[in-house]
C-alpha cells in the first residue's frame, strides 16, 4: 500500500493552489492523498473574488473521519480561514502521531487575506507547538515575528523566534527577497538551501506545492533535512516547466519529475 498524506487547507477552483495543488503533488510523489477542506474560494490566475471558511466543527469532523479510518504518515495545513478553525485543528493535532507541516498562509498571492490578523495569535500559541515544521515566506515571517527581514541574517533571527514558539523546525522561505532565493532552516542548527531564480510569472501555488512535497517526502520516510532539498528540486522543475495556463499568475507543472519518479 502507498503511504498516505493528509492536507488540511482551502480549495482553489483554478487547480493551482490549495488542496488541489497538494493532492496533485502527493500523487506525483507516489503518495495517496487525503484532503480536509477548511475554506472555499472563488479565484483564478488574476484574483481571489471570495473566501468562505467552513464551520470549525465540520473541519474537525472531516479530520476525525479520515484519521480514524486511513491514518496518514504525515500531514500539512494551508489556508485555515479563522481563529476558530485554527484552534479546532490544534486540539486534534496535539494528539497526532505523525508529523505535521504548517504552512502559515496569511495572504494569497493576489493580496487577499486568507487568515484574519486576529487569528495569528492562535496560530502561534496553539498550532505551532504541534508542528514538525513551520514554513512561512518572508511577509508571513515578518507578520508573525515583528522582525523586518532584509536578508539571511534576519531570516535566521525570525526562524529562531518561531522555533522558540514550540515548532520542532522552522523553514523561512526567501523567494520574496531580491536575487537568487535562499531558504533558511533552524531546527536547533541552522542550514541554508539555495537555488537560481527562474524568471516567470507562473508561480501560483508555489508555497502549497513546496509544503505538500515536503509532507509527501516525510510520508515516504525521509528525514526532514533530506525532504527539503528533494521538495525544492520538484518545485524548481515545476516552475521551470510551467504550462503557461491562465492570463495572470498561472499554475506550476504538477507533472514535473520527482526523486521517486526519476529514480
Is-catalytic flag, 112?
Answer: no
User: Which of 10, 18, 81, 205 is flagged as catalytic?
Assistant: 205
Is-catalytic flag, 173?
Answer: yes
User: Which of 76, 124, 126, 173 is flagged as catalytic?
Assistant: 173
DSSP calls for 16-81: SSHHHHHHHHHHHTT-EEEEEEEEEEEE-SS-EEEEEEPPHHHHHHHHHHHHHHS--SEEEE----
What are the distances in angstroms from CA 243 to CA 172, 208, 256?
Answer: 27, 17, 11
User: Which of 81, 174, 207, 250 is flagged as catalytic?
Assistant: 207
Rounded to an integer, what distance in angstroms lies between the CA atom of residue 64 and that of residue 254? 29
Is-catalytic flag, 203?
Answer: yes
Tally the residues of the chain.
Answer: 263
Distance of alpha carbon 216 from its chain centroid, rounded? 12
Is-catalytic flag, 97?
Answer: no
User: Which of 208, 215, 217, 250 is flagged as catalytic?
Assistant: 208
Residue 69, classified by CB atoms within 10 Å of its CB into exposed (0-12), middle (13-18) or buried (19+), is exposed
User: Which of 7, 41, 77, 206 is flagged as catalytic?
Assistant: 206
Is-catalytic flag, 206?
Answer: yes
User: Which of 203, 215, 250, 258 is flagged as catalytic?
Assistant: 203
Is-catalytic flag, 205?
Answer: yes
- Please identify every residue annotated as catalytic: 173, 203, 205-208
Amino acid at each position: 500500500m502507498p503511504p498516505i498524506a493528509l492536507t488540511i487547507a482551502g480549495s482553489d477552483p483554478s487547480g493551482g493552489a490549495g488542496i488541489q495543488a497538494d493532492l496533485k503533488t502527493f500523487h506525483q510523489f507516489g503518495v495517496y492523498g487525503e484532503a480536509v477542506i477548511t475554506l472555499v474560494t472563488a479565484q483564478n490566475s488574476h484574483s481571489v473574488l471570495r473566501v468562505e471558511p467552513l464551520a470549525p466543527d465540520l473541519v474537525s469532523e472531516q479530520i476525525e473521519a479520515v484519521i480514524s479510518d486511513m491514518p496518514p504518515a504525515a500531514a500539512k495545513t494551508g489556508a485555515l480561514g479563522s481563529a476558530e478553525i485554527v484552534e479546532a485543528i490544534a486540539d486534534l493535532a496535539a494528539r497526532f502521531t505523525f508529523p505535521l507541516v504548517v504552512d502559515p498562509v496569511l495572504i494569497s498571492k493576489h493580496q487577499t487575506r486568507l487568515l484574519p490578523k486576529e487569528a495569528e495569535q492562535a496560530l502561534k500559541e496553539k498550532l505551532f507547538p504541534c508542528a514538525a515544521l513551520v514554513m512561512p515566506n518572508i511577509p508571513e515571517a515578518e507578520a508573525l515575528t515583528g522582525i523586518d527581514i532584509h536578508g539571511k541574517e534576519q531570516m535566521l533571527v525570525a526562524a529562531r523566534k518561531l522555533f522558540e514558539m514550540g515548532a520542532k523546525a522552522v523553514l523561512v522561505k526567501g523567494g520574496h527577497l531580491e536575487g537568487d532565493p535562499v531558504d533558511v532552516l533552524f531546527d536547533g542548527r541552522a542550514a541554508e538551501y539555495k537555488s537560481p531564480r527562474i524568471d516567470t510569472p507562473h508561480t501560483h501555488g508555489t508555497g502549497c506545492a513546496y509544503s505538500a512535497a515536503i509532507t509527501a517526502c516525510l510520508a515516504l520516510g525521509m528525514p526532514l533535512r533530506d525532504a527539503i532539498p528533494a521538495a525544492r528540486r520538484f518545485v524548481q522543475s515545476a516552475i521551470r516547466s510551467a504550462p503557461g495556463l491562465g492570463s495572470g499568475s498561472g499554475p506550476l507543472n504538477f507533472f514535473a519529475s520527482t526523486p521517486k519518479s526519476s529514480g
